[in-house]
Amino acid sequence: MPTRSQTLAKATSLRSMFETQGAALVEPPILQPADTLLDLYGEDIRARAYVTSDALRGEQMLRPDFTVPVVQMHMAHGADPARYTYAGEVFRRQEDDPARANEYIQVGYEVFDRTDPAAADAEVFALISEALSGLQVTPVTGDIGVLLAAVDGLQTTDARKKALMRHIWRPKRFRQLLERYAGRAPMPKTRAALLAGEVTAQTPVIGKRAQSEIDTRIEALRSDAASPPISTREVDLIEGLLDLKGTMPQVLGRLRDLAMDLPQIQESVARVALREAALKARGINTETLMFEASFGRSSMEYYDGFVFGFRSEMRPDLPAIASGGRYDALTRQLGHGGEIPAVGGVMRPGLMLELEGAA
């Protein structure tokens, strides 16, 4: 195991590499206000982050990642375009696997640039790939934007599309919803009784959720029951898309075929192709680069476009050595009316040293 000072020295050298690329150094505080993170990630973040509190500032979290504070800082007073780098500890609760570190050093690089998203994606990926050269790691890429576009273009109601979009990052739930909207899952008896008007409340309305909200939902359920199911053909196409994996050339071929039947993904598939060209221009061998359509779906992050991760084949027990992606929507959510295309990635110098030591 590398010592802490070895890890810090490695982190500093990686950070200098990004500074050489013109990135400004940022150092967000370790204690972050809990409300922003809770609002973004919900209860899941409590299972992943350490929460502490004092009587003055209320709940705070030990920085579980750098992206959110960097985005907040950029949206408040950042230059346009801007590039940032940072190195420091992040803290993650580990309640299931004692072998996983609950405190480790991350080095990151974030690009806020409107001019050429494909080039920015390739820039982040190529710099991290270069920093990892010499290590036995394998990259996987994906694109959440293709999935979002596919759902957005389904021949069904906006309410269903919205519900599916909301659960893109929860694969099991997503599949259940899709099955239900396709009319493949039976309606629960209680739901049928409710829609038939057989259920009435004899009890007082208590709590903050008002009668009008209950009525609105019943109305929404009625209108959903009256809507035709999503066609088997569309469900099969979506499921085919979700299962898609292979090398970049293989997947691009398949995506172009799928786009004939799912015209809504044409633009996002074109973006994948542009990115492939940009990666090639950066010297990445895309012939062997893996692409998995569902990659990044079960991560907690708010990635909505390009996603990537580097793992060690020799040490499959280790978490990703580096990972990242595009998070345009996050800049909108934290931007108070502003927004900017953004992409970034992080590396774990401690794991890199561990792999170097083993080689």
Partner 1 sequence: MTLKLGVPSKGRLMDKTFDWFGERGITLERTGSEREYAGRVEGIQGVSLILLSAGEIPRELAAGRIHLGVTGTDLIHEKLALWQQLVTPIEKLGFGHADLIIAVPQCWIDVDTLDDLDAAAAAFRAEHGHRLRIATKYHRLVREFLREHGVADYTLVDSQGATEGTVANETAEAIADITSTGETLRANHLKILTDALVLQSQATLWHSRTAPFDTAETEALAILMEKLHGGRAVTARQSPPVPD
In the complex, the residues that contact partner 1 under the rule CB under 8 A are 38, 42-44, 46-47, 95-96, 98, 163, 166-167, 170, 172-174, 176, 188, 190-191, 194, 199-201, 203-209, 211, 213-214, 216-218, 221
Nearer to partner 1, 219 or 356 (CB): 219
Could you give the CA distance from residue 285 to residue 258 in angstroms, rounded to a whole number? 24
Nearer to partner 1, 96 or 313 (CB): 96
Could you give the CA distance from residue 110 to residue 75 in angstroms, rounded to a whole number? 13
Q: How far is the CB of 39 from partner 1 (least distance, A)?
A: 8
Nearer to partner 1, 133 or 203 (CB): 203
Q: How far is the CB of 46 from partner 1 (least distance, A)?
A: 7
Cα angle 136, 141, 24 (rounded to 5 degrees) comes to: 85
Q: How far is the CB of 213 from partner 1 (least distance, A)?
A: 6
Q: How far is the CB of 304 from partner 1 (least distance, A)?
A: 16
Closest to 127 measured CA to CA, from 36, 27, 21, 271: 21
State which H helix or E strand residue 285 sits in. Answer: none
Nearer to partner 1, 161 or 311 (CB): 161
Q: How far is the CB of 258 from partner 1 (least distance, A)?
A: 26
Instruction: Name the DSSP class of 280.
Output: H
Closest to 71 measured CA to CA, from 356, 343, 348, 286: 343
Structure-token pair, residue 211: 């009668």
Q: Which amino acid is at 357?
A: G
Nearer to partner 1, 229 or 246 (CB): 229
Print the SS3 string covering 226-249. HCCCCCHHHHHHHHHHHCCEEEHH
